Amino acid sequence: MKRLLKTMCLLFAGLLLFSCQKEFLDKKPDKALLIPTTLEDFNALMDNLTVFNSSPALQEISADDYYANDAGVAGFTTAVQKNSYLWAADLYQNQPCTDWNLPYQQIFYANIILDGLADRKDGNGSLADQNTVKGSALFHRAFAFYNLVQLFARAYDQATAVTDMGIPLRLTADVNAKVGRASVQQVYDQVIGDLLEAVQLLPVQTRFKSRPSRAAADALLARVYLSMENYELADQYAAAALALNASLLDYNTISPAAMNPFPASPAADNPEVIFYDKLISYGFTSSTRTTVADELYQLYAGGDLRKSIYFTDIAPFYFKGRYTGFRLQLFGGLAVDELYLIRAESLARMGDVAGAMKELNTLLVTRWMKGSFKPLSSGSPDEALRIILIERRKELVFRGLRWGDLKRLNKDPRFAKTIIRTVVGQAYTLDPGDKRYVFPIPAEEIVAGGMVQNER
């Protein structure tokens, strides 16, 4: 990781010097870094959508929503995609892992900004501007840490989180600082700490949805607490985010025939998007040889507009309902519909069936053909939870969330699922709780950092 960070630093410095045509980078020998120093520099760095608005995607390939036939598997453009689809022990075959490197690049840059803010002497910029920059850096670092722990560690379990191995928590831009693997509990504590501070610093609204807002920090806290099975706080922060933005897009206003049915983000306005982020682009996710799993497709009823808006209407069915608005980019950000589902699940798990179904129906009435939706009801928390989890899968499809849901739900026998893929006549099976739900750390990081590797 040290070598990676130094490389990123050099590339960063060269990019800024080349693109901005001004020398605002001062050499910092004590950290072996070239770093920006002004609020303008910090904002320019975080406005790089290629770096700060991208999230891991291999988990989407490993989950159960996609299907690839034999030709599709044979046509994977990189080994890591095929290996992820088949849950191979050697995932990367000595190739770099973007799903590891990119979040740590985000963390590195966020730390440059946070360190730079602490070292600033000029005092330029209003307090509000300083708070926004700091809050944004904290948000980006928290989002990156959270994305990493979803892939490279076990699902959060209160009974074992203190001893379960997490990921390295790099909290400084100093590339010479030695950092080992923190526990899962320490990672979640850091994520929550960063976000709680960010909530106090970020503006309620931002000019561009590619920049974090207070609603985005609340929404991410809701997602984090749901992962931790802390339903009271998940509901609390989902409600806080909805208090700032509860807008839902009526799918009756969308053309199901469009190949890109949703507004292009972040340039155009999809009222549901709170924070714009896209998943790393892999050929797998846009190939005509990879289609939606039939089991998933059959969950959508005839009057459900998501069936025709999310997918093509002729078999084999391809996914086209990306909230990015672009065919080649899956949405990986934060949106209002997820918040309604977090509230619904949390309330159901806390025994508030009426409240849970109210939140769910508020969302679903905007997803069904006008006049055809009949509000759902339930006679028990268990039944309500089953209904909500099905709708969660249908609504948040191909957003990078299914893998984390499988990991946490597999701990409950009611929802545990075995995934089976058959390729060239050979069956590949992923059982609930399988060690392969935890991605291996890239080999070069194990060698360079002396870290313990995840078992596969």
Domains of the chain listed by start with CATH number: 2-56+77-202+440-449 (1.25.40.890), 251-417 (1.25.40.900)
Give me the pLDDT at residue 290, please. Answer: 83
What are residue 276's phi and psi, to 5 degrees? -80, 130
Sign (positive/negative) of CA torsion 372, 378, 382, 383? negative
pLDDT in tens, 439-448: 999 999 998 8
Give me the pLDDT at residue 35, please. Answer: 66
Please state which of the ranges 94-103, 119-128, 134-143 shows the lowest mean pLDDT. Answer: 119-128
For the chain, give the secondary structure using H, E and C: CHHHHHHHHHHHHHHHHHHHCCCCCEEECCCCEEECCCHHHHHHHHCCHHHHCEECCHHHHHCCCEEECHHHHHCCCCHHHHHHHCCCCCCCCCCCCHHHHHHHHHHHHHHHHHHHHHHCCCCCCCHHHHHHHHHHHHHHHHHHHHHHHHHHCCCCCCCCCCCCEEEECCCCCCCCCCCCEEEHHHHHHHHHHHHHHHHHHCCCCCCCCCCCCHHHHHHHHHHHHHHCCCHHHHHHHHHHHHHHCCCCCCHHHCCCCCCCCCCCCCCCCCCCEEECCEECCCHHHCCCCEEECHHHHCCCCCCECHHHHHECCCCCCCECCCCCCCCCCCECCEEHHHHHHHHHHHHHHCCCHHHHHHHHHHHHCCCECCCCCCCCCCCCHHHHHHHHHHHHHHHCCCCCCHHHHHHHHCCCCCCCCCEEEEECCEEEEECCCCHHHCCCCCHHHHHHHCCCCCCC
Average pLDDT on 330-351 reads 98
What's the whole-number average pLDDT of the chain?
A: 91
For residue 15, is pLDDT > 50? no
Give me the pLDDT at residue 402, please. Answer: 98
Answer left, alpha or beta for residue 263, where phi above 0 means left and psi between -120 and 50 means alpha: beta
Task: Choose between 449 and 356: higher pLDDT.
Answer: 356
pLDDT in tens, 422-431: 999 999 999 9
Please state which of the ranges 6-10, 34-38, 228-232 shows the lowest mean pLDDT. Answer: 6-10
Are the C-beta atoms of 209 and 275 separated by less than 8 Å? yes
Percent over 70 (pLDDT), the chain? 91
Percent over 90 (pLDDT), the chain? 80
Give me the pLDDT at residue 34, please. Answer: 56
Interacting residues of 244 by C-beta distance below 8 A, sequence separation 6+: 204, 205, 213, 214, 215, 218
pLDDT in tens, 124-181: 789 999 999 999 999 999 999 999 999 999 999 999 999 999 999 999 999 888 899 9
